[in-house]
DNA sequence: GAGCGGGGTTGTATTTTAAAACCGGTGAGA
DNA sequence: TCTCACCGGTTTTAAAATACAACCCCGCTC
């Protein structure tokens, strides 16, 4: 489903993004990559994903330029998967999903991992879209301008 | 795939979020809802999704508290689907996907729809996670603190 | 009461995912 | 050097999700 053509999807960047990362596994792999995970076996163990699916997703993510295969950091014979610039730019997407989940998907007292600033160890404030004046924008303050 | 259990997914808000919206259709429906779309037939025509899948996704989104069914605005007999507070809070996720797509998935000169501020009609600056001091944070400036 | 549009449900074919067995290359130890 | 794990996959087969088309129900209009 992340790979089919809809009506006018060339036009909408959201749709085009979802063609590349619009399945749960891809974004979970990317999330783990942000946490420093780099090896096939690590992803396999952590995610509990089927081996063939993991291989397929890694291949797609490499093809999409989100991950790249690099020689192992420890000089071993295997290769590792590292986020490219393009992959790192997915950070706001991951943060958005994380903060939405934190805000809406946990009961009071139910614990979860937290994203904190490395500098002070404190949680990040909610990420919000800002206008050019630096003030937060709600969805109602924006509109999608379709191309002519 | 958006609906299975991984190793320790209760813990990670990203995983939990993706259980609810981790497939392309759900987020495309939400995207369209942000654009003011409210009716089954509108989603059907715009997305080119299969009818049964659309019905299923709308049902799930309602169950998840992201959409709610409300009486039609025009007093007709059918009902419409509107974003709840929880659904509206997905705005940063959609914006994140949109801006990533805009930045990485279009060739020079290739046109796409744009998200603009309603006030001045101008595109939004890139949304970025901010630290408590208001300065943008890169992924490397953060870490995920797992719960004890 | 026939026709029609909206909003679905119900089959059934096709595609994707999952699970598990298998395979090839490297490196360590006997 | 032989073999024995281990890592990183591929292949095979089963199960599930998706797509597509046909059908159905309801309220409305004519």
Structure tokens, B7: 């190793």
* CB pairs < 8 Å spanning A and B: 274
- Chain C positions with an atom below 7 A of a protein C-beta are 6-11, 16-21, 25-27
At residue A146, the pLDDT reads 86
pLDDT of residue B10: 75
Q: What is the pLDDT of residue A72?
A: 82
The pLDDT score that the predictor gives to residue A24 is 83
Closest Cα of chain B to A78: distance in Å?
25
What pLDDT is recorded for position B8? 58
Q: What is the pLDDT of residue A4?
A: 42
Q: Are B18 and A10 in contact (CB < 8 Å)?
A: no
Q: Per CATH, which fold does A13-141 belong to? A: Arc Repressor Mutant, subunit A (1.10.10)
Tell me: the pLDDT tens digits for A57-96?
A: 999 999 999 999 998 877 677 889 999 999 999 999 999 9
- Cα(B55)–Cα(B47) distance, integer angstroms: 13
Structure confidence at residue A8 (pLDDT): 59
Phi, psi of A3 (to 5 degrees): -125, 20
Whether the CB of B40 is below 8 Å from some CB of chain A: the reply is no
- pLDDT at residue B5, rounded to an integer: 47
B38 touches strand C (CB under 7 A): no
A8 touches strand D (CB under 7 A): no
Give yes or no for B25 touching A (CB within 8 A): yes
Mean pLDDT, contiguous 10-residue spans, chain A (148 residues): 51 94 95 96 95 97 97 80 98 98 94 94 96 95 89
Tell me what pLDDT residue A67 has: 98
pLDDT-derived band of residue B4, with 50, 70 and 90 as boundaries?
Answer: very low
Give the number of other CB atoms < 10 A from CB of residue A45: 12
Q: Sort out which chain B residues have CB atoms less than 8 A from A143's CB and list them.
A: 35, 115-116, 118
Give me the pLDDT at residue A1, please.
Answer: 44
Give dist(CA A18, CA A82) in Å, integer.
21
Q: In 3D, which of B46, B54, B99, B43 has the Cα closest to residue A137?
A: B99
pLDDT at B124: 96
The rounded distance, in Å, linking the Cα atoms of A67 and A59 is 9
Structure tokens at A26: 């891809």
Q: What is the pLDDT of residue B9?
A: 64
CA nearest to B88 within chain A: A139
CA angle A9, A2, B111 (to 5 degrees): 25
Give the model's pLDDT for residue B76: 73
Label residue B4 exposed, middle or buried (CB < 10 Å: 0-12, 13-18, 19+): exposed
Average pLDDT over residues B132-145: 95
Distance A77 CA to D2 C1' (A): 22
Calculate mean pLDDT across residues B52-69: 97
Handedness of CA B29, B30, B35, B39 (dihedral sign): positive
Q: What is the pLDDT of residues B91-117, one digit of tens each?
A: 999 999 999 999 999 999 899 999 999
Which of A37, A104, A141 would you mutate first to test chain B, the one with the most B CBs within 10 A?
A104
Does the structure show a pLDDT above 90 at B11?
no
CA distance A3 to A9: 11
What residues of B are in contact with residue A93 (Cβ under 8 Å)?
A: 93, 96-97, 100
The string of pLDDT tens digits covering residues B30-45 is 999 999 999 999 999 9
Q: How far is the CA of A30 from the C1' of D23 (A)?
A: 43
- Find chain B residues with C-beta within 8 A of A120's C-beta: 132
């Amino acid at each position: 489903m992340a790979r089919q053509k809809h009506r006018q999807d060339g036009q909408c960047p959201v749709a085009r993004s979802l063609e590349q990362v619009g399945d749960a596994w891809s974004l979970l792999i990317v999330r783990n990559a942000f946490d420093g995970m780099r090896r096939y076996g690590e992803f396999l163990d952590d995610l509990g994903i089927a081996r063939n699916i993991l291989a397929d997703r890694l291949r797609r993510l490499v093809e999409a330029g989100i991950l790249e295969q690099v020689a192992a950091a420890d000089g071993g014979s295997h290769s590792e998967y590292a986020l490219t610039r393009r992959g790192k730019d997915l950070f706001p997407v991951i943060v958005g999903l994380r903060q939405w989940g934190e805000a809406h998907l946990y009961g009071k007292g139910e614990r979860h991992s937290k994203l904190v600033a490395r500098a002070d160890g404190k949680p990040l404030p909610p990420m919000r879209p800002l206008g050019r004046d630096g003030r937060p924008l709600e969805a109602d303050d924006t509109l999608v301008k379709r191309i002519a």
